[in-house]
Structure formats: C-alpha cells, structure tokens
Structure 1
C-alpha cells in the first residue's frame, strides 16, 4: 500500500443497537503508523469502533476499509456486496486486538496462546512460531514464563501476554480496548510503559480506547473525542488537552482529570 494512502477509512458509517444510534455517520481516516487515542464518556461509541474493525459487529450503513480493502463489503462483478466470512477472516489477519479482560486460553500455556493462531491461521512452521513467541515474551519481560498457564500469572502479566499474542500475528493494525481497566492500580504503569515501547519501536497503526489521559497525551499522535456516536473534535494531544474547542470536551476532561 502506498504510504500516502490511509490504513483505516470510515466512510459514513452508522451502527444501531435497536433504536439507539451508537455510531452516527462516522467519517475519519487513520494513516499508516499513526497512533490514535479515542476518548469520551461511556456509551459514546468508542469500543463499537474497535468491534466494527474486528468484524465482531457489522455496520448498518457506510463502509470501512483497511489497507485499501473494504472490511464489511467485498467486490463482486464490479459492485460492493456484504462480505462473507471467508473474506472477513482474510482481512482480520491484518488486525490484532487486546481486550479489557485478557481473553487468554486458560487450558493452554503461554507458549500455546502465542503460537496457536500463527500456526493455524498464518500457516507458520512450529519452530518459527516458537521463535516468534520467545522473542515477544522477551519484549514484554516474560521470557521465563513461556511454559506457565495464564492462571498462574498476575493480571498485569496476563495483559502483557495478551499484547504479545496480538503482536504474534504481525498485524498492520493493533486495537487496544481499555487494556488497563481490569488491572490493579500498581500494575497499570508497567503495561502502559510496555505499550509506549511498542509504539516507539514498531510501525504498527494503533487505535487505543482509554480513560488514562496521561497515557493518551504521551502515546498518541492524535486524540479523537467522541460523544453521542460522533467525533466531537480531534487534534494533537498538546492542543486537545490544553485548548479544547468544544465545551463538552472541556467538561469531560475536567471530570476525568479530577478523578486522577
């Protein structure tokens, strides 16, 4: 994909749950290698954006593209039609997601959690998948826990394994959904430091939903403020956190920062 083309495109995307519109005519792009933090009150549509990108939810109207290919639709005879599961599986190979609750397989060791998908989905030879797992566990500081089961790890360690598992698929896009919300406060700093290191040392495009405003300020190239299923405003962290244009953004930031 040429560097000038966006990695992610939302084009007039709308998503409803019953009568509730959670994403309303969303139009935005994310550049290759860009780190974008999504902030806003609960229920504003932030996590739904990640779930749409993972095809865990389907758009009602509009289209989403990843690396120049439509996500929820595919081309057939010159027209866009709803994508089938096989097509979406191929697109999903380019996207990794780290969830709030880790979602590790408890019956597998850490090694198994990191090698299962690369072997079965990407077709990597087992020795290559093992080498990649060892490399990533070294990165996240857990090289000595490769043969442990997740239940024997702390919450912070499990979240580091979840991050390594997402990276094991060599994604172009990494989605982070409140990855520190299930952790004890003393474990948060370690996970955020790891994500900063990954962001600084890779060219992965990252979308991050978080209530950690300090992390959003330090990590993101751009911050998007959501409210009522819309992008209320967006800009570089230095601008949005110090001189937000919208009263609703100022109100939200005051409330969140006062809790810190």
Structure 2
C-alpha cells in the first residue's frame, strides 16, 4: 500500500531546541493514527508542518505522492486542498453565520458554486447534529456545538487527511463525550485518513489503527492500540501511560 503521508528525515527546530529530530513517519490511506506523549514532545508540530503553518529545517514531506516540503507556493496550495484540520480553539469566523463558516472555503478554494457548497454544508450540519443552526452566529452556540461546526467545516473540503489537535481540550467536561462520539462516527463511516493528537486515551484506543508514542522529538514505539496500551515495550511509554491512565 502506498503511503498517503510521508516524513523523511524531518528536523524542526525552534531556536536552539530541536522539536523533531530526523523524523521518519508514514501513514497509509484510510488509517487512523494517534500521536501520544508528554507536552512538548513534538506531536502538535507534526500537525502544524502538515498544515504548512511552520516549515522544517531539514527533510522532505509528501502527501498523496506530492511534495509538501520542499515545495513552491503553487504546489503548497494544491496539497493543502487535501488536508483539513480541527484545532483546540474553534477558530470560527464570528461575523459569519454557521452555514457560511462551512461554505466559505469550498467556494473560494475549491471553486464550488454557492448552491453546491450550501447543499454540502447543510448535509454536514445534519451529520454533526446541528441541522437547525444554519443561520446562527457562533457566539450563540456552546463550545461543543462550535467544535462540531469546526469539524463540519474541515469535512466540507472533502480532505483526504483530517488533522485533529486536542479537539476537546477547550471544552467543558460534559461536552467532551458528544464531540468524541461524533469523531468515532466519522472514523467508522468515512474513508478519511485521521491523524490525531489527544490525551483522551479511551478515544485513542477506540478509533486508532496505530498509536505512536513520542518523546523528545522521536517516535519511541508504535503499534496497534491494544499493544501500546496493554503491553508497551518502552519504559518511557509505561511511565507516561501510568501517569495519565
């Protein structure tokens, strides 16, 4: 199977600090990969590199066989169309109603007609349980509802890859379950590839095909969730899991 995402000897530094150290990583199409590890271990930097929010110092990154780095601006624009991301903070446009939040990028980036984009947007709002909120402004929604809109907005681009960066960390505890249940549904009913950074270990165990343990910019070990959570090989993995489980 050809890899959908490939990191080849990728190094990222912030000042004197090496956040990713000659990282090799690959993700197959349709797989759900969860990155775990302590804060500062490099997990979110991987997502930020894939979103081209930061650039590596060394190495190459490809998505769908096309170069994400190094690449020129035209190449970047094309590859970005295949990638959607849901952030910790919802990052909705406060001056736009819910439906327009979802349709803005499909119209302006993918070139969809307004009617086609709105049809897709309404379908996705039904999917995330917010079909009655098309004309609401984000400020009228709860945190959990705003995060559902953010997930619908990412899916509206029909990405090959969905990046999830601690998507429940800004939510009140009673809202977390609903968002995680939605993501479980998306994982089981679509063929989108998911790369997830989370501290929700039960969620990681449920949805992941592969779990990667990071520490100090390196992958310490990886494997199916039942292996990583029940019988990890690395002492650092055991320490980390015993501290959070």
- TM-score, length-scaled by structure 2: 0.99
The 5 Å alignment of 1:211-222 reads: 211-222=199-210
Q: Distance in 2 between matches of 1:69 and 1:9?
A: 10
**1:105 alignment partner in structure 2:** 93
Rounded to whole Å, the distance in 2 between the matches of 1:23 and 1:113 is: 33
The match for 2:6 among 2, 6, 9 is 9
Is 1:151 the equivalent of 2:148? no
State the match for 1:178 in structure 2. 166
Q: What is the CA distance between 1:8 and its match in structure 2?
A: 0.3
Moved over 3 A (4+): none
Instruction: After TM superposition, list the pairs within 5 Å mapping 1:237-256 onto structure 2.
Output: 237-256=225-244
Matched, 1:40 2:37: yes
**Offset from partner CA, 1:192-243 (integer Å, 9 cap, x none):** 0000000001111100000000000001000000000000100000000000
- SS of 1:147's partner is coil
1:72 aligns with 69
Q: Which residue of 2 aligns with 1:76?
A: none
How many angstroms apart in 2 are the aligned matches of 1:107 and 1:72?
34
Q: Deviations over 1:110-152 (max 9, x none)?
A: 0110000000000001110000000000000000001100010
Which structure 2 segments of 5+ residues have no match? Answer: none
Gaps of 5+ in 1: 74-82
Structure 1: how far apart are the matches of 2:218 and 2:53?
A: 20
Q: CA deviation at 1:89?
A: 1.3
Cα distance in 2, alignment partners of residues 18 and 190 from structure 1: 39
Tell me the number of residue pairs that the alignment of Structure 1 and Structure 2 aligns.
245
The answer as to 2:221 corresponding to 1:233 is: yes
Q: Work out the CA distance in 2 between the residues paired with 1:67 and 1:111.
A: 29
Query: CA offsets per residue over residues 168-205 of structure 1, 9 Å max, x none?
Result: 00000000000000000000000000000000011111
Distance 1:85 1:7 in 2: 20
Is 1:91 aligned to residue 91 of structure 2?
Answer: no
